Amino acid sequence: MQRIPSIYFQESPIHGRGIFTYEAIPKGSLIEICPVIVLPPEQIPYLEKTLLYHYYFTWGDQQQAAAILLGFGSLYNHAVLCNAKHIMDYEQQTMDVYALRDIEVGEEITFN
Instruction: Kindly state the helix (H) or strand (E) to which residue 33 belongs, with its residue range.
Output: strand 30-39
CA-CA distances (angstroms) from residue 30 to 1, 12, 96? 11, 22, 7
Segment 42-92, tens digit of pLDDT: 999 998 899 888 888 899 888 999 999 999 998 999 999 999 999 999 999
Confidence at 94, pLDDT banded by 50, 70, 90: very high
CA distance 19 to 66: 22
pTM, whole model, 2 decimals?
A: 0.88
pLDDT band at 40 (very low <50, low <70, confident <90, very high): very high
How far is the C-alpha of 99 from the C-alpha of 31, rounded, in Å? 7
Question: What digits encode the pLDDT tens for the residues 73-82?
Answer: 989 999 999 9
